[in-house]
């Protein structure tokens, strides 16, 4: 199939590349010419494990191309995915101006039938507005359009695997033609008929569930899913606070809960809280969506409040141990909001560092992939070449992101380099008893 993907950020670049990988011809469009120049030159603007190899191979084999001109992208395409950003406004609502702009231009530029698919995370009823926009600005009397919702469920760090081996594919449609096209488009993934670059035994797993709904239900599924996962994180963080008060271990509590198949162990990890561009934004947007419809989603407001408090609690723990934070040297391991990505948007690590700098502490940090983007967010941040340099002379060390690299360090060397062997493990990465037996003052979360 001929496909156009508008937007080459995390979602758009992964979507377009993986669709090319399963055999389609894809043109990625972005109005950021610098990003397009980078892609045409063989680079990629984000770090996502495995993505660079797929981009290179599919460009070389002629199935993937990039352009800054929307007309060039949609000319031959039957299916057009909208994958542009929907950043939060000050009131928590989603900024849909980019979505509206793209929909308008698709209407103006199209000379043949298009299935327009909203892939960006958008509030319910956005599909309706896209359809109205296409009708107003498109040549409706000569050209037909269908609109569909196809929410993404990609996790940064595992996005390629998530796209090619999803838990489910959700499509919201109002016309059988749109359903047929999307089922044809995703058939290699649904029936696992392509040669997989990620998992060689994927065909043994059976077909992928392909859920067809109306557009409004599909739009709600994405926000409901992310909000539920955020709720699990805030719940276990509240349990962690209780564990600290009563002398229990949240890791054991989470393990016991997770053995219940109705609950599961995923996302029951106490720590600094959730971050990234999806959970905080989608949670606030879902609250705003409900508010507009006359429903007060108090539960999600509390989920957000609990998450916002995690950084203050870590600062309080540091004060309890160091008394005065001013002029203390504090090392931070990890800057990205999660491992295996360079994304620092809404990163708890960045929020923690900002507060430490406000308190007058001397902060040194290291991250395997995110230091360049962290410097953009915090130009004054002192970034070190390796984790050992961060530890040198430190009064305390905070584990802010659970990169595997940190688990393999020579911890006795780390201890010997520190001014005081105090570790605040904001991700419960290390074994508490082992750390204490090595002579560290070790504090985890909920332990």
Residues with active-site annotation: 278
Query: Quick one: 405 exposed, middle or buried, by C-beta within 10 A (0-12, 13-18, 19+)?
Result: middle
Kind and range of the H or E element at 118?
strand 114-118
C-alpha distances in Å from residue 404, one per residue of 35, 171, 177, 364: 30, 35, 46, 20
Long-range pairs, 375-381, Cβ under 8 A, ≥24: 377/344, 377/350, 378/350, 378/353, 378/354, 381/353
370: nearest Cα among 344, 347, 331? 344
Contact 312, 305 (CB under 8 A): no
Kindly calculate the radius of gyration of the chain based on its CA atoms and give it in whole angstroms: 24
Q: Is 355 helix (H, G, I), strand (E, B) or coil?
A: helix
Between CA 35 and CA 47 the distance in angstroms is: 14
Contacts of 284 (CB under 8 A, 6+ apart): 88, 92, 304
Sequential DSSP letters for 224-289: HHHHHHHHHHHHHHHHHHHHHHHT--HHHHHHHHHTSTTT-STT---SS---TTTHHHHHHHHHHH
Q: Is 444 helix (H, G, I), strand (E, B) or coil?
A: coil
Between CA 308 and CA 317 the distance in angstroms is: 16
Between CA 240 and CA 253 the distance in angstroms is: 9
- Name residue 25's beta-bridge partners: 2
Between CA 66 and CA 27 the distance in angstroms is: 5
Between CA 338 and CA 267 the distance in angstroms is: 12
Contact 5, 42 (CB under 8 A): no
Between CA 199 and CA 164 the distance in angstroms is: 9
Helix, strand, coil proportions of the chain in percent (round to 5)?
45, 15, 40
Task: Please give the distance of CA 24 from its chain centroid, rounded to a whole number.
Answer: 25
C-alpha distances in Å from residue 185, one per residue of 16, 70, 191: 12, 21, 11
Between CA 125 and CA 133 the distance in angstroms is: 13
């Amino acid at each position: 199939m001929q496909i156009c993907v508008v937007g080459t950020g995390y979602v758009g670049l992964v979507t377009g590349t993986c669709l090319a990988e399963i055999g389609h011809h894809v043109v990625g469009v972005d109005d950021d010419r610098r990003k397009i120049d980078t892609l045409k030159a063989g680079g990629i603007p984000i770090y996502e494990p495995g993505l660079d190899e797929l981009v290179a191979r599919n460009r070389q084999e002629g199935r993937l191309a990039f352009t800054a001109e929307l007309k060039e992208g949609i000319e031959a395409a039957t299916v057009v995915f909208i994958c542009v950003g929907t950043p939060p406004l000050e009131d928590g609502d989603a900024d849909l101006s980019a979505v509206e702009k793209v929909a308008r231009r698709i209407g103006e530029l199209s000379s043949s039938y298009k299935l327009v698919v909203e892939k960006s995370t958008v509030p319910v009823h956005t599909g309706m507005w896209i359809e109205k926009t296409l009708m107003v600005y498109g040549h409706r009397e000569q050209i037909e359009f269908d609109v569909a919702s196809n929410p993404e469920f990609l996790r940064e760090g595992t996005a390629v695997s998530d796209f090619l081996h999803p838990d489910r594919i959700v499509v919201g449609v109002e016309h059988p033609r749109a359903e047929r096209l999307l089922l044809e488009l995703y058939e290699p993934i649904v029936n696992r008929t392509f040669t997989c670059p990620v998992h060689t035994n994927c065909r043994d797993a059976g077909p992928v569930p392909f859920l067809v709904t109306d557009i409004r239900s599909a739009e709600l599924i994405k926000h409901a899913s992310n909000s539920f996962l955020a709720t699990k994180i805030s719940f276990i963080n509240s349990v962690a606070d209780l564990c600290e008060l009563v002398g229990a271990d949240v890791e054991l509590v989470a393990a016991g809960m997770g053995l219940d198949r109705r609950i599961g162990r995923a996302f029951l990890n106490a720590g600094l809280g959730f971050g990234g561009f999806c959970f905080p934004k989608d949670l606030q947007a879902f609250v705003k969506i409900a508010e507009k419809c006359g429903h007060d989603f108090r539960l999600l407001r509390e989920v957000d409040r609990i998450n916002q408090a995690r950084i203050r609690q870590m600062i309080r723990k540091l004060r309890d141990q160091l008394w005065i934070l001013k002029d203390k040297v504090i090392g931070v391991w990890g800057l990205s909001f999660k491992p295996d990505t360079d994304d620092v948007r809404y990163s708890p690590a960045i929020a923690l560092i900002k507060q430490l700098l406000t308190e007058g502490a001397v902060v040194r940090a290291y991250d395997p992939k995110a230091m360049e983007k962290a410097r953009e967010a915090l130009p004054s941040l002192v970034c070190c070449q390796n984790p050992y340099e961060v530890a040198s002379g430190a009064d305390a060390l905070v584990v802010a992101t659970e990169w595997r690299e940190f688990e393999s360090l020579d911890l006795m060397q780390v201890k010997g380099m520190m001014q005081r062997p105090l570790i605040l493990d904001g991700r419960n990465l290390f074994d508490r008893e082992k750390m204490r037996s090595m002579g560290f003052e070790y504090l985890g979360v909920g332990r």
